[in-house]
């Protein structure tokens, strides 16, 4: 089980949820009602599930693939600790993970 903390873009709101090992962060976020679109449904063909990982947790994650880095180049408001939530699998050495929703995002579905 991994304890995930979702922080709003302004830092004012925090939601904590427990997620099962092996779950993708995108699915956990969507189930928790977080504003992550995930247009490509985890196929790494968009950047609508971009999150900013807390600096203290960033190095606990496996490095991003070249394909993920390419998608992050398209993400609005990307930072040094940005990742795609569809590429983060929970569990293993991660007992806690804090991510901030980016201040802006691209709505690929036009909603």
> How do residues 63-100 score in pLDDT, each as one tens digit?
999 999 999 998 888 999 999 999 999 998 789 999 99
Task: Report the largest interatomic distance among the alpha carbons of the chain, rounded to a whole angstrom.
Answer: 37
Q: In what order do the strands lie in the sheet with 2-7?
A: 14-19, 2-7, 96-100, 50-53, 82-84
Pick the closest to residue 52 from 82, 7, 91 (CA basis). Answer: 82
pLDDT attached to residue 26: 96
Q: What is the pLDDT of residue 108?
A: 45
Q: How is residue 79 written in tokens?
A: 């930072």
Q: For 45-68, write each residue's pLDDT tens digit.
A: 889 999 999 999 999 999 999 999
Whole-structure pTM value? 0.88
- Dist CA 38 CA 54 (whole Å): 20
For position 105, what pLDDT does the model report? 53
């Amino acid at each position: 089980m991994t304890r995930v903390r979702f922080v709003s873009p302004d830092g004012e709101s925090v939601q904590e949820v427990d997620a099962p090992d092996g779950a993708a962060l995108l699915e956990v976020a969507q189930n928790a009602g977080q504003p992550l679109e995930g247009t490509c449904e985890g196929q790494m063909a968009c950047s609508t599930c971009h999150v900013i990982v807390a600096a203290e947790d960033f190095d606990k994650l496996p490095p991003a693939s070249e394909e993920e880095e390419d998608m992050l180049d398209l993400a609005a408001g990307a930072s040094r600790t940005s990742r795609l939530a569809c590429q983060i699998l929970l569990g293993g050495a991660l007992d806690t993970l804090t991510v901030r929703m980016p201040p802006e995002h691209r709505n690929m579905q036009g909603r």
